[in-house]
Structure 1
Amino acid sequence: MAQTQTAAPVRREQRAQRKSLGASTAGQVLEWYEWSAYAVFAPFIAQVMFNPANPVSALLSTLAVFAVGFLVRPLGGVVFGHIADRKGRKFVLITTMMTMAVASVAIGLLPTYSSVGIWASVLLLLLRIVQGFAHGGESAAANSYVAEIAPRHRRGQWGSVVFIAIFGGSVLAYTVGGTITFNAEESFVLEWGWRIPFWLGAILAVVALYMRMGMAESATFEELTEEKISPDDIIDESVETGDPRVVEAVRPKSPLIAILVIIAMVSGVTSAHYTWTSYVSTYAIVEQGMDANSAYWVTVAAQVVALAALPLWGMLSDRIGRKPVLYTFGVGMALMQFPLMGLISDRPWTLLVASMIALLIVGAAGALLACVMSEVFPTAQRTRNIGLAYSLSVAVFGGFAPYLNQLFNSWDMNWMSNGYVVLLCLVTLVAVKILPETKGIDLNAVR
């Protein structure tokens, strides 16, 4: 009888955790959908929101606005991260989702360059800045939240849902893009079709917001609040965990070193990710002459395959450790970037094969980002530090990847765009070498 009475609260807690995980993931998918929709429709947005007299300049300007949205992500990560470390992860996850949704609707209502001239470009830039600010906070809070509610022995698997949401949002955006371009004339896509994804995001936001309102707050954060530990407190040297790996993880030589190492670790992952999700379809369409609809659909297929593999990478890291899986990404991507990009021609199957292989490799590291970052930073400063390190790395190395790729290719120097990814993957390998192995540590001790 006692066992039954004990098991009932445990089952209720597990159900609450799964419900919260689902609500968090649904919101993240929506936010990444809204973020990715811009990249998916970049060739069309370039024609209507910038001066169409110079198509190359217009496309570069569109990708530059994409990159600027990333530049404000570190600021959003720090601001919302600070709020999340004081008021809770749930509060920030609801606030950032609402902000992204409002900005998305506004983008869908913008006047075009032919109507208001340069003001169309300016307004688009301002709204992308708002989205980037909110997105920085969302990413920081989501990475902390999912890792904190996950069972200790399955943190890698549960943490992979953060990257599943990234791929899921991108898949949804490309699916909408493929559907619109397949069923509509280009003139309609240029006039109204590119706006539809942003309006659709508003409808989905209502459902996701309702789900997030019912989320439970992270128990790790609540325990911290009950103990009244300040986010600015220094780690207590008396913390005893019984595991030397935890001591190494929670007591880096300095917080700055930990942040720099995470920035370096993420750099290769994010540059490869945005090259093979946000840019590669544009490359196939603009540089190789591939049919836009075909490029969208094969990109969707490749991302679905990679998405399905993400929890498997997380499970593998729960079994063999984080570092071996991260090494797999760094070595694999450094070796395959040049041949995979060189495979792409105007034939859709080339994009499918290249993207599928590349994204499977990217997924090895992407699936582990949430758990690794959460296992390195202390609870009292976790969201703030993740917000700074992750958002800064993504902004500098990921957000500019599509722009740099297109710029180098427009100069007939595509070897430089590939070399950029390879170099950063090598930086990731160095960072992984420095990081401690954190599989299975107790986050309650990481304070």
Structure 2
Amino acid sequence: MSTGRTPPRGSRRGWPHRSARTDQLIRTLLRRRKEPLAIEEVTVVDKPGMRRAVAATAVGNTMEWFDFGVYAYVAVTLGKVFFPGDDPATQVVSTFATFAVAFLVRPLGGLVFGPLGDRIGRRRVLSTTMIMMAIGTFAVGLLPGYSQIGFAAPLLLLACRVVQGFSTGGEYAGATTYIAEFAPDQRRGFLGSWLDFGTFIGYSLGSGLVTVLTATIGETGMVEWGWRVPFLVAGPLGLIGLYMRLRLEETPAFQQEAERAAEAAEAAEAHGDTVPIEEARQSGRGRLREIFTRHWEAMLICMGLVLLYNVTNYMVTSYLPTYMTSTLGQDATTAQVLVLGTMLFVVLAITVVGRGSDRWGRRPLFLVGSLGLVALAIPAVLLIRAGGVLMPAIGCLILGAMLVTFAGTSAATLPALFPTRLRYGALSISYNLSVSLFGGTTPLLASWLVATTHNTLVPAFYLMAAGVIGLIATLFLHETAGKPLRGSGPMVETEEEARTAVAESRTEAGRHARDVWIRLRHPWAGAGHREEEDEE
């Protein structure tokens, strides 16, 4: 079909003075530019290993959030045990200040455990964080109160929280990295959502245990001895989690990256003069420098999404029970049951949202959740303020619906922002900075703002601000659903899917090479072809 264009004068059919040697060079360039996949580049996931990975990482998150659920629900009780000389409002603020201290040391844990996980492996670091979390939580249950040892009691509580915070600095980022690197590309959202399923199961178990204890032995019994029980339960939970993590294997993506790094080191050593360069690149300082200089945009996006998720999370899970009882004067058991019911709703819906993110994409869900938080935060808090049972229950469910949108999507979205060789470190640093500055401080700041301004709509305004920031971050987010992780090859579930991926890659590579060849060898024909495509 003629395109209405004529070749340049002085040329017969192609580019002027085209030689066979030039054609050969173009063919070589095309082969190097778009290589099709080889079957060995596609990883078929080991299904038993994948199930063990999901279970072991979810148990670690369950352990972490069991502690958070307990701490949030016994905040008033802990204030009476460790800060008895203060008025009730100051007791709550003091207790949440101790809670927030753990988040201030989380970035230090991220700086240590994240790059370490990129160097020695994800499995070893996750086993270490599991041990430290269990010890820190269990030790709280053994602490003497202020009436027994005075000012040393809150100091010991603070020390336990520091240990917990340091260990959790490497927990969530490592767990999401581990699941993401074990999951098939088409199911990463669904499998990743099980990690946060463990989060809310842990919170529900912790808060549920405190609710049952409070209803059984009363507030007096909780102050005397009942507050210790939930923390002591953490010991056996930690041992179970450690056993499961020690049985894990290293992720396929990390193994492939380690092999590439070893080959690069051998090649550098063969040249003789480039070994120091490669050693510097693989060192902890070299990785940190690369994270902050080459991946700062991804870090900002990550921090915005983490702020959105964690401000909503801690507002609902950690601050809402205290807000409903201490600020609004509602019945403690009713408030605890309503928030616990919200957590159960999140647990039931979270894997559905994760599967939906595989189908519709991560970006649309974050957009819907951000806009929903901005629009519905005030109505939700007004319903919670209304009193009774029905209206607060509806308000809690609205906030729970926003929360599950972020929770079911985050574990698959965040690891995909960074390449394999830096994923654990970059995610640990950006995640923990955001959680420490904005997430973990939410209960403290919200309680302080309410006490200072006497405005009970402060939680709604706080959530709206988080929604705006999350919306901005989402607008810069690239869609990653169904795509391989950066720095890794495709991950599939079966051999048949692997062969299909290779076949599709060859077809795509051939089509791409043909289009480029036409544009180089017959530029006027290629331009006409593009015009026809545009008209269609």
Fold conserved between structures, TM > 0.5: yes
**1:241 alignment partner in structure 2:** none
**2:439 alignment partner in structure 1:** 398
Distance 1:374 1:285 in 2: 38
Aligned partner (choices 121, 125, 133) of residue 154 of structure 2: 121
> Which AA in structure 2 matches 1:317?
S
Query: Is 1:378 aligned with 2:419?
Result: yes
Shift of 1:103: 0.9
CA 1:253–1:391 in structure 2 vs 1: closer, same or farther (change >3 Å)?
closer
Query: Is 1:262 aligned with 2:302?
Result: yes
Shift of 1:413: 2.4
Shift of 1:149: 0.7
Distance 2:311 2:92 in 1: 19
Distance 1:134 1:231 in 2: 28
**1:307 alignment partner in structure 2:** 347
Distance 2:106 2:377 in 1: 27
Shift of 1:185: 2.4
**2:467 alignment partner in structure 1:** 425
Would the aligned equivalents of 1:290 and 1:348 in 2 still touch at CA under 8 Å?
Answer: no
The 5 Å alignment of 1:26-425 reads 26-228=59-261, 233=281, 254-345=294-385, 346-411=387-452, 412-425=454-467
Shift of 1:350: 3.3
> Which AA in structure 2 matches 1:403?
L
Would the aligned equivalents of 1:25 and 1:162 in 2 still touch at CA under 8 Å?
Answer: yes
Would the aligned equivalents of 2:53 and 2:178 in 1 still touch at CA under 8 Å?
Answer: no
> Which AA in structure 2 matches 1:381?
L
Shift of 1:43: 0.8
> Which AA in structure 2 matches 1:167?
F
Shift of 1:281: 0.8
Distance 1:232 1:294 in 2: 58
Shift of 1:232: 7.2
Distance 1:58 1:252 in 2: 40
Distance 1:279 1:333 in 2: 17
> Which AA in structure 2 matches 1:139?
Y
Distance 2:488 2:444 in 1: 38
Shift of 1:231: 10
Shift of 1:446: 5.0
Give the number of equivalent residue pairs.
Answer: 423
Distance 2:281 2:409 in 1: 27
Would the aligned equivalents of 2:79 and 2:92 in 1 still touch at CA under 8 Å?
Answer: yes
Could you give the per-residue CA deviations for residues 172-219 of structure 1, whole angstroms, max 9, x where no partner exists?
111101110011022110011111111001022222221221112211
> Which AA in structure 2 matches 1:281?
P
Distance 1:84 1:445 in 2: 16
What secondary structure, in the 3-state scheme, does the structure 1 residue paired with 2:181 have?
helix
Q: Select between 347-356 and 294-303 the one with higher mean Cα deviation.
A: 347-356
Shift of 1:290: 2.0
Would the aligned equivalents of 2:253 and 2:488 in 1 still touch at CA under 8 Å?
Answer: no
Give the TM-score taking structure 1 as reference length: 0.90
CA 1:137–1:252 in structure 2 vs 1: closer, same or farther (change >3 Å)?
closer
Shift of 1:109: 0.9
> Which AA in structure 2 matches 1:219?
P
Distance 1:153 1:165 in 2: 21
Q: Select between 58-67 and 341-350 the one with higher mean Cα deviation.
A: 341-350
Distance 1:63 1:360 in 2: 25
CA 1:107–1:253 in structure 2 vs 1: closer, same or farther (change >3 Å)?
closer
> Which AA in structure 2 matches 1:380?
R
Would the aligned equivalents of 2:64 and 2:168 in 1 still touch at CA under 8 Å?
Answer: yes
Shift of 1:294: 2.2
Would the aligned equivalents of 2:110 and 2:428 in 1 still touch at CA under 8 Å?
Answer: yes
Could you give the per-residue CA deviations for residues 278-303 of structure 1, whole angstroms, max 9, x where no partner exists?
11111111112222222222211111
Shift of 1:35: 3.0
Could you give the per-residue CA deviations for residues 230-260 of structure 1, whole angstroms, max 9, x where no partner exists?
79759xxxxxxxxxxxxxxxx9993112111
Distance 2:280 2:162 in 1: 29
Distance 1:385 1:282 in 2: 34
> Which AA in structure 2 matches 1:427?
I
Would the aligned equivalents of 1:232 and 1:380 in 2 still touch at CA under 8 Å?
Answer: no
Give the TM-score taking structure 2 as reference length: 0.75
Would the aligned equivalents of 1:156 and 1:314 in 2 still touch at CA under 8 Å?
Answer: yes
> Which AA in structure 2 matches 1:387?
S
What secondary structure, in the 3-state scheme, does the structure 1 residue paired with 2:180 have?
helix
Shift of 1:44: 0.4
Distance 1:231 1:14 in 2: 35
Would the aligned equivalents of 1:42 and 1:63 in 2 still touch at CA under 8 Å?
Answer: yes
Could you give the per-residue CA deviations for residues 62-104 of structure 1, whole angstroms, max 9, x where no partner exists?
0111111111111111211111111111111111111011111
Would the aligned equivalents of 1:77 and 1:139 in 2 still touch at CA under 8 Å?
Answer: no
* RMSD, matched Cα: 2.2
Would the aligned equivalents of 1:20 and 1:214 in 2 still touch at CA under 8 Å?
Answer: no
Moved over 6 A (4+): 229-232
Q: Select between 47-56 and 102-111 the one with higher mean Cα deviation.
A: 47-56
Distance 1:425 1:336 in 2: 10
Distance 1:257 1:10 in 2: 32
Would the aligned equivalents of 2:417 and 2:486 in 1 still touch at CA under 8 Å?
Answer: no
Distance 2:86 2:49 in 1: 55
Could you give the per-residue CA deviations for residues 304-357 of structure 1, whole angstroms, max 9, x where no partner exists?
111111111111111111110000110011111111112114423333222222
Distance 2:402 2:170 in 1: 27
Distance 1:232 1:127 in 2: 36
Would the aligned equivalents of 2:325 and 2:331 in 1 still touch at CA under 8 Å?
Answer: yes
Aligned partner (choices 469, 473, 484) of residue 442 of structure 1: 484
